[in-house]
Amino acid sequence: MAEIQMALDSLDFDATMALAEQVAPYVDILEIGTPCIKYNGLKLVKALKAAHPDKKILVDLKTMDAGEYEATPFFEAGGDITTVLGASDMATIKGVIKAANANGGEAQIDLIGVEDKAAVAKDAAANGAHIIGVHTGLDAQAAGQTPFEDLKTITGLGLNVKVSVAGGINKDTIQSCVKAGAAIVVVGAAIYGAPSPAESAKELRALVDAA
Ligand SMILES: O=C(CO)[C@H](O)[C@H](O)COP(=O)(O)O
The CATH number of the domain where 196 resides is what? 3.20.20.70
Any idea of the CA torsion for 103, 106, 110, 114, to the nearest 10 degrees? 90
**Which atom of ligand 1 lies nearest, measured to the CA of 141?**
14
What is this model's ipTM? 0.96
- How do residues 111-147 score in pLDDT, each as one tens digit? 999 999 999 999 999 999 999 999 999 999 999 999 9
Number of residues that make up the chain: 211
118 domain residue, yes or no: no
125 domain residue, yes or no: no
**Which atom of ligand 1 lies nearest, measured to the CA of 189?**
13
Q: pTM of the predicted model, to two decimals?
A: 0.97
**Residue whose C-alpha is closest to residue 33's, from 82, 67, 98, 75:** 82
Residue 54 near residue 31, CB atoms below 8 Å: no
pLDDT band at 82 (very low <50, low <70, confident <90, very high): very high
Count: domains in the chain: 1
**Which atom of ligand 1 lies nearest, measured to the CA of 192?**
13
8 domain residue, yes or no: yes
85 domain residue, yes or no: yes
- CA of 129 from ligand 1 middle (Å) equals 21
160 domain residue, yes or no: no
What burial letters (b/e) apply to 63-94, b meaning 16+ CB within 10 Å? beeebbebbbebbebbbbbbbbbbbbeeebbb
Residue 6 near residue 187, CB atoms below 8 Å: yes
- Residue 38 is part of which domain span? 3-107+170-210
Q: Which protein residue's CA is at the shortest distance from atom 2 of ligand 1?
A: 137
What CA–CA distances, in Å, run from 77 to 50, 60, 184?
A: 10, 14, 23
Q: What is the pLDDT of residue 157?
A: 98
142 domain residue, yes or no: no
156 domain residue, yes or no: no
- CA of 104 from ligand 1 middle (Å) equals 25
pLDDT band at 38 (very low <50, low <70, confident <90, very high): very high
Pairing of strands 162-166, 29-32: unpaired
155 domain residue, yes or no: no
Q: What amino acid is encoded at 156 in this protein?
A: G
The share of the chain scoring above pLDDT 70, in percent, equals: 100
